Structure formats: C-alpha cells, structure tokens
Copies of this chain bind each other. A is one copy, B any other.
Amino acid sequence: MSHLDKETLDRILIAAESLFAEQGYDGTTLRQITRRANVNLAAVNYHHGDKESLYLEILRRRIQPINEVRLARLEEAEQQAGEAPVPLATLMDILARPLFQLFGGPDETGPHGARLIGRVLVEPLSFTEPFLAAEFQPWLARFGQALRRHAPALTPEDFLWRFSFVVGALQHSLATLHQMKALTRGICRDNDHVTALHRFVLFATGVFAAETRV
C-alpha cells in the first residue's frame, strides 16, 4: 500500500463504524471489519488495541466534536440573548443540527456515524457506560439549564418526561433515517437530514411550548 492510499488506521475506523452501526458491537467481528477495510486481521490489535478500545475510539471521534460544537453554539446563543432566555427553536436546533449534519458531510461515513449514535443510546454496554456518562453529562447539564428557563411553570417531572420523549424521538430518527423510504412506503426519502432537522425542531419546540398539563 502506498502512502497515497488512505491510512490503514482510518480504513479500519470507517469499516468498523459502518459495521457497528449495522450490526451492533456484539454482532460485529474483527474479521468482518478487516475484510471490509481490506487490511490484515492483526491490524486492528496492532493499531487500535483491542476491540473495546476500537469501539470507544469510534464513539469518541463522533461524539466529542459534536458536543464541542453544541457547547460553543449554546454559549454563543446565551451571550447573544443577554438576560433573556435563548429562543426555544434555537435550543432545539443546537441539540439536533450537529447530529443531522453528519448525513450531509463530505464523505459517505456520516450516516453510519449518526446511525451508530442512535444505537448506542439504546444498547448499554458496561465498558461504554463511564465514557458516555463523562461525555454527555457536562453538555447535558448546561443544556438542561438553558431549556429549563423556557418551561419554568412545568414541574420537574413534567419537564424531564418531555425531554425524555424528545430525546427518544431524536435517537429513533438518527437510527432509522437511512430507511425512511421503506418505513413510509416511499413517501419520505432516505437520509433526508434537512427535512428531518426541520421537522424535528418544529416538533420539539411544540412539545416544550405546550402549556402545563396536570
């Protein structure tokens, strides 16, 4: 392999991410990964350590920059809003846009990364739990505070239930956006992240804008 080719290390990451997104962690073997990446079986252990380290590295490379963008945008929006709360639609855009934007990236790997994130939140693995907690907790605390200012009349329970439903809708959308056409009998398009983001922001804004109920 000449150095004009993409690095072995990157080819492994790309192949592994797509397979993990399709089949999950336990359902994917290192032999499937190295075969799709066109590298030797031993390359994974040589470059990335063991299977768990490879998985964590893939998650980190996707989630970390997304949460950085989210945090930066949130701070910018708060500074711009001054004393007033950040507009609800802006908050939901900050929540969802960095994720849906994966579908529109320059390469073809974005949809796999988004689908993987959608899966990770549903299938708990003991070795990913500390990482995910550490990665999402700081950002979630900040975001929750900002969002709470928009629903001061809601009880904490009502607020958290609505947030749970919204997160569920977002996660489900990430996990199924690649097969929307089949799921809707051809009415919605596959990987239509622009529409998805638009619809999601309207949907989530409506959820939190609704008045207190019981």
Chain A residues in the interface with B (C-beta under 8 A):
22-27, 118-119, 122-125, 156-158, 160-162, 164-173, 175-176, 180, 183-184, 187-188, 195-196, 198-200, 202-203, 206-207, 210, 213-214
Residue pair A184, B206 in contact (C-beta under 8 Å): no
| Partner of A200 from B165, B180, B214 at Cβ < 8 Å | B165
A193 shortest CB reach to chain B, Å? 13
A167 shortest CB reach to chain B, Å? 7
A194 shortest CB reach to chain B, Å? 12
Residue pair A203, B26 in contact (C-beta under 8 Å): no
Residue pair B157, A122 in contact (C-beta under 8 Å): no
A165-B92 Cα distance, complex, nearest whole Å: 14
Chain B minimum-CB-distance residue to A163: B184
24 CB contacts below 8 A, A to B, read A22-B124, A24-B27, A119-B122, A119-B123, A122-B123, A157-B187, A160-B184, A160-B188, A161-B195, A161-B199, A164-B172, A165-B200, A166-B169, A167-B172, A168-B169, A168-B170, A168-B171, A168-B172, A168-B173, A171-B172, A172-B172, A198-B214, A202-B213, A207-B207
Beyond A161-B203, A162-B199, A164-B173, 15 extra complex contacts between A and B, CB < 8 Å: A24-B24, A24-B27, A25-B27, A27-B125, A119-B122, A122-B122, A122-B175, A123-B123, A156-B187, A157-B188, A161-B188, A164-B183, A165-B200, A165-B203, A206-B207
* Chain B positions within 8 Å of A124 at CB level: 22
